[in-house]
Structure 1
Amino acid sequence: MAVDYDARRADAAGGSDQALPEFLPGSTAQRREVDIDESDSVEPFELPGADLSGEQLSVSIIPMQEDEFTCAVCFLVQHRSRLARSGLSGPICKDCFA
């Protein structure tokens, strides 16, 4: 027997086909607006029990090596062994090509 999967189906519980009133077109249901206070999301994150006020973090930046490339999709620097293909758009790594 062929089944038309696009056809509208009756509710399995035998209930009505009525949608929730909030989702009907022209609904007069109350809509709530969310008040977002942007100052709440700017607070610094502090680890409990960690005092990093006297710490100075330093990062050494190493220039891209001759055997590395920058993927044109994810923009990560990869080793040449991770090169999947190179075309008009640029080199693409194996992760982005798959």
Structure 2
Amino acid sequence: MAADYDELRSDVKESQEQSLQALQTAGAPTAKSVVLELDETDGLDAGGPGGEIVAEELIVQVIPQGNDEFVCNSCFLVRHRSQIAREKDGLSYCVECEG
């Protein structure tokens, strides 16, 4: 008699059925309930973009550009003079942008 080796063994099949039944009776959330829950929480964030509104004033100290610094005309970052790769028409470009 030929044996079908692709068929599940009876003990494995029973354990799979038992675990499926356990999951169904455990009250696991369904896909619909998860979507509904997410939609409800999204409604709470509808106050506007950017999250909660805070009535605090932001104070930032601005430090002027130093004598040994320049602003790259490509990436617009303040860099040390040692990082100048090229100067053309009074505009400076850093080593990273000129790569």
TM bracket, shorter-chain basis: 0.3 to 0.5
TM-score normalised over the length of structure 2: 0.44
Q: Which has the higher helix share?
A: 2
Bigger CA radius of gyration: 2
